[in-house]
Chain A
């Protein structure tokens, strides 16, 4: 490959300037001429029949333009199951479900009108525990499940009415495997509900043109084409009648794909005579009524030999999906599949159940279920290692997937950088150094500033420990990305790509790839704003798929343009096309670079000064097939796999139960770092989120299903004081199909984090904690319990 000029370089972000000056316009900032202000009335009941709704008083309130209920919006949506009404229809299924909405001249008026809506409910029994809701004979939360429109692979299970997906993996014979084992261990792990908590709350603007019936939606949605598809199916409108315009997005982490606020904004816009409606959820509303991460209960049983080989592993996983399916069926499939971990195991059995409950809706969250699986599997690995008397690293190295292995779902693996991530992550925290913590003053700079001691006072009973955990993450497969590249007669490029800049830096790396193919300076490249009327199709900005899929599409579009320029330039330079080279915005003769034309000059001469040259590119990962429904097997379950290992050194205060992370390494196999600065940023951001979910994040619900901590005061995100020294490590194990060898990186950053910390805490205390988060209270009681009953 010719030498890379801009790919692989730490280019500063293209969007940084507008973000530091406050010029960047996000969805939440948008003001439309003549717009109305929307507000929503939420259900106060976890499960109830709506006996009566009276909106008359609200409708008569001065300044109110529209008041609507489920009757005015007879539509449902959902990625794989069309189970979610725009507004509750006939019944409510969780506290926080939208029941009615108002559009008014200003927010105060809309708020006042809400109070005038009367709703009468008749309570129904509520399920708050996914295991309970899963039991045979449970009362259905969705009575009409069988008649919902849904993807083919989803079937109703009469005995288990609240199960919206049951994933099965069957490899070998676990019974035989357990009989052959010399040691068997069985455990239960759990992960609570957490929330994405992107700093920009959810919002949507919508307008319906009364003359043409065309619907326009302005929303920071990370999958505008999927949203378009879902909206078109829900409304029964052709796609051409719907347009999504994407302002900037202030973070999403999986919460802003699919439809959230959009359906309500659209439903209101049908009743405002063409005036646009702005519907913003405040922070509390975002907490209770948008999306959460699945609470998960995982049972895992493993059989091993004394030499450390794993004979069999069986898992049963309950994914609490809340009141509506959202992306749960695919979360259940794609993360139950690799939940037994990246290890060679002959006999594997997994049953994953996505289960409706009367709680806020769960769906995609950065990592797509892999973090929950890793919390169980990776701690379980350490528990096995300790019973075998093996070092956890050695035990893993003996069993991990390596190049050419066939996974337990029947796929031959390539580009497996797992071992390298493991060695590097371990080394970075001086794994194996017995005198743990030596060389690291546990209080470091804290002692100099005791008032900043981040809550840990020096006291007796401080213990340190180290732990690590690894993951393998698939990506959504098969999918398609398409892109366009335009070049003007000044030699400036515009890239049209449907990947959404959600903070991950896609605009910068896609521009880098386009610049690389044409060898133009990066400051000559611009990303086109996102609008489904103009931008070519892209499946979604999810699943860490963009660098690979959209990268390939952009690259192809740029090559398409480059070929066209070469064709045009050849006669101008009196040379053959093959004898031309590109460099610094010019096309020149390979052997005589001093003979050249600028790209802009070529276009101007051939097409005139105002013309624009266009190129197109499309990429589909073709081989990916659906999994076999009975065995869960597939020869190509994922376009590529991401591998990572993280290692933590912790300090635990036995008197308070407080855990402090001293340092944490994170080694990620990215295939090829298109932009190392960006890769490090993704790893650090992922780690911070992972540490938050390990130590304090938990959306707490009371025994009625009401969220008790819907604010940043009570829902504890990691602050600048909570985070340790982070050691990001980039590993590059080339993916042959990826652009320049790249894979993906967005999600894995937080996936092994809690398990690595859990292992370090167990190493420090000799006590194992199976439930997240590791709050001081939980750790303290585990220590007390451990004192009476040593593990």
Chain B
């Protein structure tokens, strides 16, 4: 039974039809074709599928399409600021925060959520904020460094 859903996706008004039980993750990946959001577990345990729903980071594998009417969604494809990469994306490139890259989109979204709230996090705070995002490749050291570097960059840009 398909349902009409109206939402704002990465800044654009979008109208979709999808069964109410379709998971947001599958809606994005299979029906809209935005595969930047990754599936690592499908059960809310890995964070690879993190997107912003109404300004808050959520595991898109736990959200049903039926809940989405009127929602505002931002995915990894909408993280750029205009044509420019977001400072977190730049820092991940610079510091080697991505290896296989599969956890990266979720990691970036979660890191953005942290920096939106806390522009000057300690290492411990970063570790805590990212503890629900699993990475099997990096050992997290480079990811944490990238978040610190991005935070510094954002603070400096605000002062400029």
A residues lining the B interface (CB < 8 Å) = 12-13, 15-26, 28-29, 31, 196-201, 248-251, 253, 282-283, 445-446, 448-449, 452, 502-505, 677-678, 681, 684-689, 711-713, 717-721, 723, 726
Contact = CB atoms under 8 A, between A and B. Distances in A.
* Chain B binding surface, main DSSP class: loop
B141 interface: yes
Contact of B124 (A196, A446, A681, A687): A446
B75 A22 contact: yes
Closest 6 CB pairs of A and B: A22-B36, A503-B100, A250-B102, A19-B101, A688-B139, A22-B76
B93 A251 contact: no
B99 A22 contact: no
B152 to A, nearest CB: 18
17 contacts: A12-B96, A20-B85, A20-B101, A20-B104, A22-B35, A198-B136, A251-B102, A251-B137, A282-B42, A452-B124, A452-B128, A503-B102, A681-B96, A681-B99, A711-B41, A719-B131, A720-B131
Contacts of A719: 131-132, 134, 140
Contacts of B100: 198-200, 248-251, 502-503
B36 A21 contact: yes
A677 B97 CA distance: 11
A713 B45 contact: yes
B77 A445 contact: no
Contact of A689 (B38, B123, B136): B136
Contacts of A713: 43, 45
A282 B125 CA distance: 31
B52 interface: no
B141 A726 contact: yes
Contacts of A283: 40-43, 45-46
Contact of A13 (B89, B98, B125, B139): B98
A199 B45 contact: no
B24 interface: no
B99 A711 contact: no
A21 B85 contact: yes
Contacts of B141: 684, 723, 726
Contacts of A16: 92-93, 96, 98, 101
Q: Interface range on chain B: under 10, 10 to 19, 20 to 34, or 35 or more?
A: 35 or more
Nearest to A684: B139
Contacts of A685: 99, 136-139
A287 to B, nearest CB: 10
B37 interface: yes
Nearest to A252: B100
Contacts of A251: 99-100, 102, 136-137
Q: Which of A16, A283, A712, A717 has the most CB of B within 10 A?
A: A16
Contact of B139 (A197, A446, A504, A687): A687
Nearest to B132: A719
Nearest to B133: A720
Contacts of B132: 719
Given A21-B89, A200-B102, 15 more contacts: A15-B101, A17-B93, A20-B101, A21-B77, A199-B135, A200-B40, A201-B40, A250-B101, A503-B100, A503-B101, A503-B102, A686-B139, A712-B45, A719-B131, A720-B128
Interface in B17-46: 29-30, 33-43, 45-46
A684 B77 contact: no
Contacts of B124: 445-446, 448-449, 452
B94 interface: yes
B138 A681 contact: yes
Contacts of B115: none
A110 B136 CA distance: 31
Given A13-B93, A446-B124, A199 B75 contact: no
A199 B43 contact: no
Contact of A197 (B29, B98, B136): B136
- Chain B CB count within 10 A is highest, among A22, A445, A503, A726, for A22
Nearest to B126: A720
A26 B94 contact: no
A114 B142 CA distance: 43
Given A199-B40, A253-B136, A721 B96 contact: no
Nearest to B138: A685
